[in-house]
Structure 1
């Protein structure tokens, strides 16, 4: 059997089953029951006895002889013996007079006998002797049962009413737990919510706030296993430890008995609630147990089947509320951790700006302190030891300790992009090693990779009886260690990206090929000063037979990755053009190429056209790209090339189609990316296609030269936005100077 697992057996005939049977008999019998010792001191009394006999401060602890008047009025004293009480002690029935709780004398039928047990112990049973008194007694008992049932029903109704449309989760938990405790006349109630690795404590009644409670119950190794297996509320009693267990000192495990099956379950003491009698209530939702409610009493208490059924009904009603609460709590926790991650990232970025990766490393101590406070854990830095195969850990309790740990082997299965978060579960070898040293022993090992020339690792630890890190917390730590690594290395990576960008820029933007009969110019403006190149691209490729291929596009994303995809797209389109493919066929081939070449989320908008100067036409395919503008010779009109197809690189089987436009000498084709029309001014208004059309007509009209045309458009755009572009802008203009067949031209 695995260490820590539940041990179960059936309680046989013996002390345990006798106690359980006797407890049940006290609940069911209508007779008053007293147990007293050889000195006459009452040790136990059931409800019937409390209601029948009079005692100055309760019956238990008083002298049993004070309940029965002596013939001479003198109270008996000393040890109990035959003749010291007005009834025999051999089990014979007798009629005697007693003082009742109402202050009057009543004739009762009594049987009393000695019990075989260590010391002098006597059991007394009493019931009113007269028929009228017996009927009245039974009526009082029935009335008491009715009051209890009404109390349970009223409490259940209050739970329902208090939880309808509840939106404050903590208040909801507080009200429900208090209502359950009061309704069941219990000493306290706890609720645990299910998570990926066990049940976490999420609420306690006010009566238990000062108690030491198990904050986490792992699946299959705590008392919840019994309730989940049985599928309904289970009634349990913690057995008193035997002499052998007491001689061992600290009770690490206790035996718990099911009142229904008499099965004995061995459970870690730390996982038990602070009760002697308690009920464990599983809350089911969608075929899974989403919560465990524990209701209990600090002393031995009768656990009724009706009460267990009532709790099952309450759990059935609460299942929807708790499922909603579980989702909301998880969402709240995710938001808290996401907000903290953003704050820590900003702090690390500020440190990187001040002094690069070395400043980030020096800032990590403060950042780790913030993380450990949020996760209620302690940080233990880990560093290599001079001895091979060992590491030095700065322990929270005992200080620096050298441990025999192969951290590389521990980290390797969890490594992701050079960093890792390794959960430390209570059953792991590392946890056992830390536990033996008396140190906190659950949490996670954080591996930040190599920073400033040295590996950076740390343990984030919680106490042995604390809950392990949850799924959301582990995800947060993964993002955190990746942020630290990325930011620490960021300056070097940014410099490298800058050099790559410059190289890509040289081969991408400034090589519009010369084509006889076409005057071309282009301009590019990055919205980010540090990003010299991005996803906007354009090209003009000279082809045989007075033909040319014009390309304008925009790849999603920015920086080196977008630029590298742009360069690949340009290269592929140029190759397709030389093969003589029609534009739509070129784009269709490019779509399949991109879907296999780049990340799934990378796509492009694209305009590609084949200009045939001899025919005076441009055949084009516009794939999700802003429509090109054709400014007529003399700027007397402007038209739109509006045949549109879907974007490139997003989906297979998109249909692409060609459009065609006719050209005359002096016509100007204006191509642009969406950063042009989507530019905003200070009031949030878009420059838009209308703004671009007006600017193009204005800058083409009259005696304004074509040279500098796109530059003037860019100046107009920057003036409109206050030189605050939010996206990259690329524009290219082609003026068709010689259109039609020349001497020696062959038909196309």
Structure 2
């Protein structure tokens, strides 16, 4: 019977713990645990003042800043500061070192509070909630992923931001509209650089991705232009180059909106040439018209789309930058297009500007 009673008591405790987990939100359980940790640190400082430093409260403070939301964190910081005051009151003597340690902890508590208010403004609950921003960033990058292509086609993309972070004002969207043999690719350069342009790039990548798969090639840039005009951003303009490629015949149409011109390589001569397509910058002129440069990609031909960060540098004409890029392309990609986009981005362009490259090759 004793064993049966013990088993029942264990089961009862487990059931009670399970009920607590279901009824208490995760943040409340974190708060209780961290307050308990702060109380433990206070008791240890009081009992062992010579061995336990006053800075022990920094551990629950740091953990709280990571896991608690903006509504709970201010109260938690206040509780910790009260516990720190208690720890200070039980000290036998006050030295300059003690006052310095306490002052630093109060400053750190103030910094944590400021961080909490900023997260509240952003709508991000805590550091774990910042995974939402990571997910949004990954969505930008995933839209640049190339869909499955028929045998004989290869498309490579490469993107580098000015600040070295995954957020950039340049982005690529590539889709294969359902029920068609077309590949639609757009390379966009949003006004601004790095994280400053990241929010606009995020919004535009989703909107343009939907337009790219739903509209005919000739309708895409006019619709994108109308969308940017509706946003009424202070820096609401963007440049873009749009490629529509028939994966059966190799026929293509390239349309540009204030963007550096696309270039094409003829396998027979091995030379790169500039495609003459033009159009106004997106988001500035209503009912803009975009002309197309057309042609066919034969076996061995390639087509290159890029942003101005690849060819623009201070005190240098953009035409000279394009000539330099074509010279590098002839040397780097002679008969071998493996890693073509990454090679070009690594070799060319300004490190102070976002850079994006798309290389389309028909084997």
TM-score by length of 2: 0.59
Aligned equivalents of 1:676, 1:693: Cα separation in 2: 11
State the partner residue of 1:378.
Answer: none
Aligned-pair CA distance for 1:594: 1.5
1:124-139 to 2 correspondence within 5 Å?
Answer: none
Compared CA separation, residues 532 and 573, structure 1 to 2 (3 A): closer
Structure that is richer in helix per residue: 2
State the partner residue of 1:508.
Answer: 140
Structure that is richer in strand per residue: 1
Structure 2 residue 360 is matched with structure 1 residue 734: yes
For 1:521, which of 149, 156, 164 is the aligned residue?
Answer: 156
Compared CA separation, residues 563 and 518, structure 1 to 2 (3 A): farther
State the partner residue of 1:678.
Answer: 312
Aligned equivalents of 1:639, 1:599: Cα separation in 2: 36
Structure 2 residue 334 is matched with structure 1 residue 697: no
Higher RCO by CA contacts (8 Å cutoff, separation 6 or greater): 2
Aligned equivalents of 1:714, 1:498: Cα separation in 2: 30
Aligned equivalents of 2:242, 2:160: Cα separation in 1: 21
Please give the secondary structure, in 1, of the residue aligned with 2:220: helix
Aligned-pair CA distance for 1:638: 1.2
State the partner residue of 1:604.
Answer: 238
1:482-501 to 2 correspondence within 5 Å?
Answer: 489=118
Aligned-pair CA distance for 1:654: 2.3
- Could you give the per-residue CA deviations for residues 674-724 of structure 1, whole angstroms, max 9, x where no partner exists? 1110145xx97977111101011112214xx21111222122227xx6xxx
Aligned-pair CA distance for 1:557: 2.1
State the partner residue of 1:716.
Answer: 347
Compared CA separation, residues 498 and 646, structure 1 to 2 (3 A): farther
Aligned-pair CA distance for 1:655: 2.4
Please give the secondary structure, in 2, of the residue aligned with 1:532: coil
- Could you give the per-residue CA deviations for residues 386-430 of structure 1, whole angstroms, max 9, x where no partner exists? xxxxxxxxxxxxxxxxxxxxxxxxxxxxxxxxxxxxxxxxxxxxx
Compared CA separation, residues 453 and 505, structure 1 to 2 (3 A): closer
TM-score by length of 1: 0.30
Compared CA separation, residues 641 and 504, structure 1 to 2 (3 A): farther
1:209-608 to 2 correspondence within 5 Å?
Answer: 489=118, 502-510=134-142, 511-516=145-150, 517-529=152-164, 531-543=165-177, 544-559=179-194, 562-583=197-218, 585-597=219-231, 599-608=233-242
Aligned equivalents of 2:190, 2:224: Cα separation in 1: 13
Aligned-pair CA distance for 1:667: 1.2
Given that 1:519 and 1:735 are in contact with CA atoms closer than 8 Å, whether structure 2 keeps it comes out as yes
Aligned equivalents of 2:269, 2:148: Cα separation in 1: 24
- Could you give the per-residue CA deviations for residues 420-451 of structure 1, whole angstroms, max 9, x where no partner exists? xxxxxxxxxxxxxxxxxxxxxxxxxxxxxxx8
- Could you give the per-residue CA deviations for residues 153-191 of structure 1, whole angstroms, max 9, x where no partner exists? xxxxxxxxxxxxxxxxxxxxxxxxxxxxxxxxxxxxxxx
State the partner residue of 2:104.
Answer: none
Compared CA separation, residues 526 and 657, structure 1 to 2 (3 A): same
Aligned equivalents of 1:525, 1:452: Cα separation in 2: 33
1:35-50 to 2 correspondence within 5 Å?
Answer: none
Gaps of 5+ in 2: 1-109
- Could you give the per-residue CA deviations for residues 298-332 of structure 1, whole angstroms, max 9, x where no partner exists? xxxxxxxxxxxxxxxxxxxxxxxxxxxxxxxxxxx
Compared CA separation, residues 498 and 698, structure 1 to 2 (3 A): farther
State the partner residue of 1:663.
Answer: 297
Aligned-pair CA distance for 1:576: 3.2
State the partner residue of 2:99.
Answer: none
Compared CA separation, residues 727 and 590, structure 1 to 2 (3 A): same
Gaps of 5+ in 1: 1-450, 455-484, 738-748
State the partner residue of 2:23.
Answer: none
Aligned equivalents of 2:167, 2:197: Cα separation in 1: 9
Please give the secondary structure, in 1, of the residue aligned with 2:348: helix
Aligned equivalents of 1:515, 1:540: Cα separation in 2: 11
**Number of equivalences:** 245
For 1:629, which of 252, 263, 278 is the aligned residue?
Answer: 263
Compared CA separation, residues 578 and 728, structure 1 to 2 (3 A): closer
State the partner residue of 1:615.
Answer: 249
Aligned equivalents of 2:215, 2:317: Cα separation in 1: 43
Aligned-pair CA distance for 1:508: 2.0
Aligned-pair CA distance for 1:611: 0.5
Alpha-carbon RMSD across the aligned residues, in angstroms, is 3.4
Please give the secondary structure, in 2, of the residue aligned with 1:644: coil
Aligned equivalents of 1:659, 1:528: Cα separation in 2: 34
